[in-house]
Amino acid sequence: MDVATLDRIVEILKRDHLAFRSKHNYDEKLPYLRVSEAEFDKKVELLKRKLPKLTNRVDVKREMCALFACLGDAHTMFVYSRRQRMDIEFLHCKDAIYLKMVDSKYKDLLLHRVDEIEGYNIQTLLNKAKKIIPFETKEWFNHFSAVCLSDPHFLAMLGIDVKATLRVKLDNQEFNFPLKSESVAMPPALGHQSWYDVSTQEGITVIRYTKCRADLPNWEKFCKDVKNIAPSSAVIVDLRDNEGGNSRVFTENVAKVLKEKHCVGCALVNNGVFSSGGLAVKDLRKLGFKLIGENMAQPMDNYFPGETPQEDKFKFAYNVDEYSFTVTNALMNLRVKPTDTNKPDIKVANTIEALRAGHDLVLERAVEYLNKTQLRDR
């Protein structure tokens, strides 16, 4: 990357990001959670001086990721070239990282604590990750950093050159896991069996909804199953680990049906709910649904729409030469005090011990709540 390319990227960022254009209603005039515009400009100038020394593409992208991440806006990010993810995944639970998916030969090691990856202490890696992951709250960072550890290119930006296997220390014992294998995931207490699913739990309808898109497998069957829900049913909508997308898809295909059928119930949430899942929560709150689970990543009532249809787009995607990045006009959590929107009515968190035993404490608490209330008798 040369200075001219950096200048074009920064020019677009400043042109389109709402915070740079001062379209925000805050008592404090500084538009960012972490830095002012003057501080951001200083970082840009420092990077310009660094650029001639950055001959490695990974180093360039790490510096650009850090520049975008300093804003503290999880929807405005520099996009690095992603390789195919490994068949190894990690999970953040409480204050530690655990093994979530691995080769089936090592299935007994699932949900064991991760101490090191390729000889690097896990906390050291997370400290490095904080500099290049854009995040608004610690809940979102805790979730997303664990996800990123499954990406070989992200690991490269942390200084780990992934080969055919990944060396991981679990509970002070080292293992070399193959990157591609017949992998198995953790016990499915938190896992979704498909992108979308409608099932029953003790007579209560459970809707699992993992991505706000209508072009993924089993979508048509899912919509048919949602429309077949009995009127006045008690319903649990599981939005945990929602993976983003267009929130209007949920509004038009799930929330609308639940409203027409006068359904009541709960929404399950956790730290991994993307913003589109958070907007789905707003739909469900209007229907009187209770939130059960952990704090969500960000409050969802701090969205300032643009003045024109073009500006009202949630996120803009750009390409400048070989580089890609996104800029949002939705200021989720910048210099704004959190509201109750992202806090559950009933706070419950799964524990590693429960997951190891195959229990989903959040789902079980929702079922218990609905069985103890009069909601099902409406």
What does the pLDDT read at residue 183?
85
Instruction: Give the sign of the dihedral formed by CA 330, CA 334, CA 339, CA 343.
Output: positive
Give the span between the Cα atoms of 36 and 329, in whole angstroms.
17
Residue range 89-185 forms a domain whose CATH class is: mainly beta
State whether CATH 3.90.226.10 applies to domain 196-301+339-377. Answer: yes
- Percent of the chain, pLDDT > 90? 47
What does the pLDDT read at residue 30?
40
What confidence tens digit (pLDDT) does each residue in 42-66 have?
Answer: 999 999 999 999 988 999 999 999 9
Could you please report the per-residue DSSP string of 94-142? Answer: TTEEEEEEEEGGGGGGTTPBEEEETTEEHHHHHHHHTTTS--SSHHHHH
Q: Considering the chain, what is the average pLDDT of its residues?
A: 83
Residue range 266-279: average pLDDT?
82
Residue 304 CB contacts under 8 Å (≥ 6 apart), including other chains? 18, 23, 24, 25, 329, 330, 331
Split at pLDDT 50, 70, 90, the class of 21 is low
What does the pLDDT read at residue 36?
78
Give the span between the Cα atoms of 102 and 183, in whole angstroms.
5
Range with lowest mean pLDDT among 100-109, 140-149, 310-319: 310-319
Q: Which long-range contacts (CB under 8 A, 24 or more apart) does 63-66 make?
A: 64/1, 64/9, 64/323, 64/325, 65/132, 65/133, 65/157, 66/131, 66/132
The two structure tokens encoding residue 34: 């972490």
Distance from the Cα of residue 245 to its chain's centroid:
11
What does the pLDDT read at residue 68?
94
What does the pLDDT read at residue 277?
79
What does the pLDDT read at residue 188?
57
What does the pLDDT read at residue 377?
54
What does the pLDDT read at residue 271?
81
- Integer CA distances (angstroms), 23 to 3, 18, 115, 362, in order: 29, 6, 44, 39
The domain limits of the chain are 89-185, 196-301+339-377
With 70 as the cut, is the pLDDT of residue 266 above it?
yes
- Percent of the chain, pLDDT > 70? 83
| 32 or 99, greater pLDDT | 99
| 14 or 189, greater pLDDT | 14
| 344 or 115, greater pLDDT | 115
With 60 as the cut, is the pLDDT of residue 265 above it?
yes
- Integer CA distances (angstroms), 142 to 65, 123, 332, in order: 18, 12, 18
With 70 as the cut, is the pLDDT of residue 305 above it?
no
What confidence tens digit (pLDDT) does each residue in 196-242 have?
Answer: 889 888 889 999 887 777 777 788 898 999 999 999 999 999 988 77
Split at pLDDT 50, 70, 90, the class of 342 is low
> What are the residues facing 245 on neighbouring strands?
212
Residue range 292-298: average pLDDT?
78
**What predicted TM-score, i.e. pTM, was given to this entire model?**
0.85
pLDDT winner (highest mean) among 135-144, 148-157, 185-194, 322-331: 148-157
With 90 as the cut, is the pLDDT of residue 158 above it?
yes
Give the span between the Cα atoms of 180 and 175, in whole angstroms.
15
Residue range 128-134: average pLDDT?
95
335: left (phi over 0), alpha (psi -120 to 50) or beta: left
What does the pLDDT read at residue 218?
80
With 80 as the cut, is the pLDDT of residue 374 above it?
no
Torsion of CA 292, 289, 296, 294, to 10 degrees: 0
